[in-house]
Structure 1
Amino acid sequence: MLNRVVLVGRLTRDPELRYTPNGVAVANFTLAVNRTFSNKQGEREADFINCVVWQKPAENVANYLKKGSLAGVDGRIQTRSYDNNEGRRVFVTEVVAESVQFLEPRGGGNTNQGQGNDYFGSPGPTGNDSGRQQNNNQNRSSGGFNDDPFANDGKPIDISDDDLPF
């Protein structure tokens, strides 16, 4: 079985952050995702997809995204139901986000165009240390670090055959 959803769209409103009685953060937001085709009038339509994200990522989404922000969501579709105040059964279909990518820089400029920022604590250049990684890359390009740690400046490498793994 497979239940996988990948979306890229813009938030239709600011994320709504709440906490469960146990103190677990949960954020709800809606993504407007453009369709790939036009209607009979030549206009592009969009689908409005409800998303939910939990725990620390929910807090990050609430802190860093706002209405109009471009975001990528990777997750799964979930259906649930509950009885509303009138006693009617309400069915809800939503995307439970496992990963949310912030696809625009925080200020709204295009300085990081094409580079997503994953605020789920993933290590690496798209994780929370992306600023540190970017600074390291700048230092390398400006001569702050040697690009090749094994560069020998044309001199013979001083290593014995016993140190080689093969």
Structure 2
Amino acid sequence: MKNTVLLIGNLGADPETRNTRGETTITTLSMGTSRPKRDSEGKVMKDAATGYTVQDTEWHRITCFNGLGKTVAEHATKGMLIGVRGRLHYSKWTDKDGVERYGCEIIAEEVQFLSRGKSAAKPQGDLELDDDVPF
């Protein structure tokens, strides 16, 4: 059996990075994914005013370690479209008030940038496409 998660969505905030005492870099992301909202009969719901499909958004906590985390922190920014491949990780802890808490996160093994990030230079003027380059 394999624990694999594949998600494509937008970052809800800029990545946050911290280092442990053991020099491990940990970068966390908040990623939103959306799907069409359905009514009790299973039909896709439309907004009465605009006619657009109503979306249900779910938020996911993504954790990246060391080199991957550094790369994500350097290039990713709020609103950017990314793809994540990783694994589910469940945690259990007791908070400062003695209440048992549970959480779920995705430990990223691969992050793909599907839109431009911080370091992408904005083109100046008109771009010319090379007809000799195959797509």
Structure-2 change in CA distance of 1:108 and 1:3 (3 Å): farther
TM-score (norm 2): 0.74
Q: Residue 99 of structure 1 aligns to which amino acid in structure 2?
A: E
Aligned residues: 112
Aligned-residue offset at 1:66: 1.2
- Alignment gaps of 5+ in structure 2: 40-44, 47-53, 124-129
Q: Which has the higher strand share?
A: 2
Confirm or deny that 1:72 pairs with 2:69: no
Structure 1 equivalent of residue 126 of structure 2: none
Cα distance in 1 between the residues matched to 2:32 and 2:122: 20
User: Structure 1 residues 82 and 98 mapped into 2: Cα distance closer, same or farther (>3 Å)?
Assistant: same
Equivalent residue of 1:67, what SS? coil
Deviates more, 1:66-75 or 1:86-95: 86-95
- Where do residues 95-110 of structure 1 align in structure 2 (5 Å cutoff)? 95-106=106-117, 107=120
Q: Secondary structure at the match of 2:14?
A: coil
C-alpha separation in 2, matches of 1:8 and 1:48: 12
**What letter is aligned with 1:3?**
N
Aligned-residue Cα RMSD (Å) equals 2.2
Q: Secondary structure at the match of 2:108?
A: strand
Matched position secondary structure for 2:109: strand
When you count helix as a share of all residues, which structure comes out higher? 1
**Aligned match of 2:17:** 17
Q: Which residue of 1 aligns with 2:50?
A: none
Higher relative contact order, structure no. (Cα contacts within 8 Å, ≥ 6 residues apart): 2
Alignment of 1:1-166 (within 5 A): 1-35=1-35, 37-40=36-39, 41-42=45-46, 43-106=54-117, 107=120
Alpha-carbon separation, structure 1, partners of 2:31 and 2:75 = 15
| Paired letter, 1:90 | R
Quote the Cα distance in structure 1 between the aligned partners of 2:95 and 2:72. Answer: 27
Amino acid of the residue matched to residue 111 of structure 2?
A: V
Percent of aligned positions with the same letter in both sequences? 26
> Which of the two has higher C-alpha Rg?
1
Q: 1:108 to 1:8 in 2, by over 3 A?
A: farther
Q: CA deviation at 1:109?
A: 6.7
Structure 2 CA distance for partners of 1:44 and 1:108, relative to 1, 3 Å? farther
- TM-aligned CA distance change 1:108 to 1:89, over 3 Å: farther
**Separation of aligned partners in 2, 1:104 and 1:93:** 26
Summarize deviations over 1:95-147 as a string: whole Å, max 9, x none.
Answer: 1100001111234879xxxxxxxxxxxxxxxxxxxxxxxxxxx9xx69xxxxx
